[in-house]
Structure 1
Amino acid sequence: MGRPDLPRPRRRDLSPAAPRVRMRLRRARPGDGGPTRALFHDAVHRGAALSYSPAERDAWSPSPEAPPDWEDKLLSRHTVIAEIRGLPAGFMTLGRDGYLDFAYVSPDWTGRGIGRALLQAILREARRSGLDHLSTEASLVARPFFARHGWRETARQSVIRHGVALTNFRMEIEL
């Protein structure tokens, strides 16, 4: 006899509907160092908790406090910040050489299209700047995101941070 065929739930039926929020993209500016560093630390410690051990996350981001050169790094690159309700919800940076260094979304806002919007803004800037090739080193968490957006994995690697080995992936995309 068996179970009767039941309709399969659609994805949106599995979780409550997320309220729509207004997101604004903008360039980094002086004063963004502290808030983006706090977001980075939260993304590492909460967002990557299922992929990296506590020791790995502590090595990756030992403190939410911004090191002295943090804001200079943001301002010396093309850094796009996604804001929701006036607070950073994510950010990405692109160097003049086509290296995408930081790509982080707050764990409170993942799955809402923020990463996609940031990446689209970075790709537009790369094309505007005449770049035809971008590269990054993606974490275990970011790797599937970049792969979904056409990036190709070129190597798995182990990088040492504060004496701890962290796995990440060299990835690239041709524009």
Structure 2
Amino acid sequence: MTALVRPYQAEDCAACWAVFHRAVQIGARNHYTEAQRNAWSPSMPRPTRSRCARLMQAMTLVACDPVDNTVIGFMSLLGDGHLDMAFVEPDRMGRGVAGMLHDGILARARENGLTRLTTDASHLARPFLMRRGWRVIAPETIGRKGIELERFRMDLQIGDRQ
């Protein structure tokens, strides 16, 4: 799959949050119950000022369809090296989009002198990240709206790795 990866722009906000919602509700269907997915993202998120700022203030990359330029995925890295968000349209999962975004995020992290990345990965993201050298530090259970969700604290030592 070829996608165009570029830095996030303010006009991408609504599209990124729509990708997030569909990835949770459809893409994570085999990993989380309906109640868990609804606790995570109960409805299509509105592109509020705080949601847009969250993506703008991070090092966020978006992947766009090369034909119609629609946003099909995104990843955001905080300045401290925490991979905050990583989501791909369900019908584009398994086609290399996340890998392209991950490569771009790693390049940005190195450019910014980061040597260690961390994340809180879902059941869906964990195997993807492990294939790219991330390791599980520990599983953890968090509560959202009275529902428990399991995720995995992970890290990646990047240093000068290519």
Fold shared, TM-score > 0.5 on shorter chain: yes
Q: Write the letter of the residue equivalent to 1:139.
A: S
CA contact (8 A) 1:26 1:82 kept: yes
Count of residues in Structure 1 that have an aligned counterpart in Structure 2 = 155
Q: Deviations over 1:9-35 (max 9, x none)?
A: xxxxxxxxxxxx541011111121111
Q: Deviations over 1:103-150 (max 9, x none)?
A: 011111011111110000000000000000000000001100000000
How big is the alpha-carbon RMSD for the aligned residues of Structure 1 and Structure 2?
1.0
SS in 2 for 1:52: coil
Q: Write the letter of the residue equivalent to 1:54.
A: E
Q: Write the letter of the residue equivalent to 1:46.
A: I
TM-score by structure 1 length? 0.86
Which has the higher relative contact order, 1 or 2, with Cα contacts under 8 A spaced 6 or more apart?
A: 2
Aligned residue for 1:48? 28
Alignment gaps of 5+ in structure 1: 1-20
Work out whether 1:71 is the aligned partner of 2:52.
yes
Within the candidate set 124, 129, 150, 2:107 is matched to 124
Aligned residue for 1:154? 137
Work out whether 1:170 is the aligned partner of 2:153.
yes
Q: Deviations over 1:15-66 (max 9, x none)?
A: xxxxxx5410111111211111111000000000011000000000112122
SS in 2 for 1:108: helix
For 1:137 and 1:174, locate their aligned partners in 2 and report how far apart those are by CA, in whole Å. Answer: 15
Aligned residue for 1:4? none
Q: Deviations over 1:72-129 (max 9, x none)?
A: 1000000000000211111000000000000011111011111110000000000000
- Stretch deviating more after TM superposition (155-164 or 90-99): 155-164
Percent identity, please. 40
For 2:146 and 2:20, locate their aligned partners in 1 and report how far apart those are by CA, in whole Å. Answer: 20
* Over 3 Å off, 4+ runs: none
Alignment gaps of 5+ in structure 2: none
CA contact (8 A) 1:33 1:66 kept: no
1:4-153 correspondence runs (5 A): 22-66=2-46, 68=48, 69-84=50-65, 85-153=68-136
TM-score by structure 2 length? 0.93
